[in-house]
Structure 1
Amino acid sequence: MLSNIRIILVQTFHPGNIGATARAMKTMGLEHLTLVNPRAFPDDEATRLAAGATDVLENARVVGSLDEAVSDCVQVVGASARLRNMPLPHFDEPDNMAESVVENATAAPVALVFGRERSGLTNDEIRACTHQVSIPANPEYGILNLSQAVQILAYEVHRCFRKRPGSGFTYQTPTQATPPSREQFGYFQDHLRQVMHKSGFITQPHARTEEQLQALFARAEPSRRELSLLRGLLSAVESHLPPQPKE
């Protein structure tokens, strides 16, 4: 499904934006990038800002017109400010756009089109699209960098994709750290109690400080390794304390 979704950049001026776009795409599982008359490509700045997504750049397709880039697409969504004089269907929210794009991409190629950094898409280029989408932003400053706009729409597409039954997407969860045994935790509590008394931190025999600190560490649920680090810290503190007087 994602392999049927292509990102199209029209006459990109700064090659770094092409590299940043490639990075944004790869993080969201998109791999097909088409460039319409870029000012400079290939370019070292594009490669530098791709940051590990150079395969997307290497496989990028360069064409001479938007019509050529979208000739086989069943849906073409132009990212731009909403133009009232254009009678195209308009997605006011990117998540609604993503649902439509992902559905169409199950059967045929679709495209998300982004215009020039300063002027966006021309009216003729928007007419080559089947839909428009806008990214809601601060009305007093709604200017997004090109790669930022790609990242937002690519994220919405990927979010919609991974929620579909059969997407195969799985979340990577961190490996569960081994908790300490009750005996090990008891040794730590005894060690903590000794250092608090030796250091003079606890001066009142009936103070609840000791209980509160022990409860804090119990709530924290440290792993065996973390408990070992804490005991190492206590030992280091203990080594700098003056010797205790013999009874």
Structure 2
Amino acid sequence: MLSTIRIVLVQTFHPGNIGATARAMKTMGLTNLVLVNPRCFPDEEATRLAAGATDVLESAQVVASLEEAVSDCVQVVGASARLRSLPLPHFDEPDEMAQSVIQNAHQAPVALVFGRERSGLTNDEIRCCTHQVSIPANPDYGILNLSQAVQILAYEVHRAWRKQAESGFTYQRPLDATPPSREQFGHFQAHLGRLMQQSGFLTQPHARTEEQLQALFSRAQPSRKELSLLRGLLSAFEAHLPDK
């Protein structure tokens, strides 16, 4: 479904911004890039700043007009740093925009449109849109780089998509982050308790010291690898205790 979401850049001046946009898109699962009259593309600077997202650049479409870029879209959201006197529905928050985009993207193509680095979208270009969205920022300095703006809106779209039950999105757990079994954690707690007794650390039987330390490690939720390291540390200490 993310493939029906189109990022459209209008008359981008710096080719590096195209590359950085491709990178921002790929990190959020978006691959459909359309360029309207870019000053220079393809370009080595775009490839360099894509940083591994060259597949997005290679599949990018170059068109002559914004109308051509969005003619088949059922929703076209223009990103604008300021409100204009046009009666278009306006999203004050990017997350609201993203929810709407995701709903429509189930049916047909949608587009997020970004204007020139210095001047943004013209009024005529905004008339090609069905909605506007602004990114809330510091009112004293609300200037965003083109690729930064793409990254923020792409993140919100990906976040809204993740919340869809049918997305099937899951966070990949690193192999060494597997939690220990209850049996493994029980062995660690027994080892810890035995060492505290043997070392003379527990001097006040009713102080609940052992219980509190075991609760601390339970809250820490160490992985199997981390628990193995702790067991090794306990064994090293244990080897230096005098025999009784």
State the alpha-carbon separation in 2 of the partners of residues 116 and 189 from structure 1: 65
- 1:104 match: 104
- Contact 2:195/2:238, CA 8 A, preserved across alignment: no
In structure 1, runs of 5+ residues without a counterpart are none
TM-score by length of 2: 0.81
- 1:50 match: 50
55-64 or 22-31, larger mean C-alpha shift: 22-31
The one-letter code sitting in structure 2 at the alignment partner of 1:206 is Q
1:227–1:144 Cα change, 3 Å: same
- 2:179 match: 177
The one-letter code sitting in structure 2 at the alignment partner of 1:168 is S
Aligned mate of 2:204, from 203, 206, 216: 206
- Contact 1:193/1:210, CA 8 A, preserved across alignment: no
- 1:68 match: 68
Bigger Rg, structure 1 or 2: 1
- 1:168 match: 167
- 1:188 match: 192
How far apart are residue 210 of structure 1 and its match? 5.3
1:153–1:222 Cα change, 3 Å: closer
1:149–1:223 Cα change, 3 Å: closer
State the alpha-carbon separation in 1 of the partners of residues 36 and 78 from structure 2: 14
The one-letter code sitting in structure 2 at the alignment partner of 1:177 is P
In structure 2, runs of 5+ residues without a counterpart are none
The one-letter code sitting in structure 1 at the alignment partner of 2:168 is F
- Contact 1:79/1:133, CA 8 A, preserved across alignment: yes
1:60–1:222 Cα change, 3 Å: closer
How far apart are residue 151 of structure 1 and its match? 1.6
The one-letter code sitting in structure 2 at the alignment partner of 1:178 is P
Over the aligned positions, Cα root-mean-square deviation in angstroms equals: 2.8
1:210–1:160 Cα change, 3 Å: closer
1:5–1:226 Cα change, 3 Å: closer
1:3–1:206 Cα change, 3 Å: closer
How far apart are residue 112 of structure 1 and its match? 0.7
State the alpha-carbon separation in 1 of the partners of residues 222 and 164 from structure 2: 37
- Contact 1:192/1:234, CA 8 A, preserved across alignment: no
Map 1:217-232 onto structure 2 (within 5 A): 217-232=217-232
- 2:18 match: 18
TM-superposition CA deviations, 1:165-204 (whole Å, max 9, x none) = 5x2323235364223153453223323444x54xxxx5x9
